[in-house]
Amino acid sequence: MSAQVCPGLYRVGMKFYCKFADREVNPGLMPCLSNYTDCPFYRSPEKEKLEGATLPKPAEEAAQKETPTPPAVISVEARMPEATETVERPEEELKGRLEDFEAKILELEETWKKYENEASSALDRWDELSAETRRLIAGLSSSIEAFKVEKERINSKADQGLLTPAEARNLIQSIDEKIEEYSNIVRELSEILSRIERLIVPHMKRLMASRAKPELGKLRLSLMKLEELFKQGKISEKTYERLRTEIENKIAKLEDIVEEVKEA
């Protein structure tokens, strides 16, 4: 405990009490945290020892009878136990809470950085997986269309008598089984793609929104440079229109994403 804090000051919850005065006190208005020895209720350890060890003389007893000890002090000695709780300055307690909050914010900052890195990695991986899945779906869909053409060819050959009805039926049945198999795969893969896209789009928007302001600034600067190049005759009107449209579309998309995240 600091030497500037009165040894009789103790805290219960958010309130402060004086063991000498046996009552609640406000340390900010009393000398508890500065010159506490000037307090009329303060009793030094030496004085308490002396009073406990020395027997009073008759004259002193008479004087004590004439000048009784303040009831508050007697009440403290009779009822209040020695304070065992550590006294803490109000500013120290507030400082501790501020430091705890600062640590929490730093922890959140690290958590956000970790989230950004992991989400960015997941999006890159998703680009690869989704592209691979779409290629497979496109291949299967193309095969399904080829099977349908083959069915028409078999039916035509059967009509021409080049295949018996049984042969044509067996071939068409085999093709129908393949069409059903491939169609099921396409449907399952498409459903998985849709589910993952619904899950990943919010993460993509969060990342894009966090990077939107600097990216928007770069795009607007690029648009200004493009205008200058066109005015100076360094690019054709066709190239200018194409690049301007691309940049403006990107700006519009980023602005939409920022608005969506704000409204979410």
Q: Structural domain boundaries of the chain?
A: 9-88, 211-264
DSSP 27: T
The CA distance from 137 to 41, in Å, is 89
* pLDDT per residue as tens, the chain (264 positions): 344 678 888 888 778 888 887 878 777 656 777 677 777 677 777 666 655 554 444 444 444 555 555 544 444 444 444 545 555 678 888 999 999 999 999 999 999 999 999 999 999 999 999 999 999 999 999 999 999 999 999 999 999 999 999 999 999 999 999 999 999 999 999 999 999 999 998 898 888 778 777 788 889 889 999 999 999 999 999 999 999 999 999 889 888 877 777 665
Distances (CA, A) of 164 to 148, 150, 161, 180, 206: 19, 16, 7, 24, 63
> Which tokens sit at 189?
């893969």
CA 239-242-243 angle, to 5 degrees, is 85
CA 71-75-80 angle, to 5 degrees, is 155
pTM for this prediction: 0.48
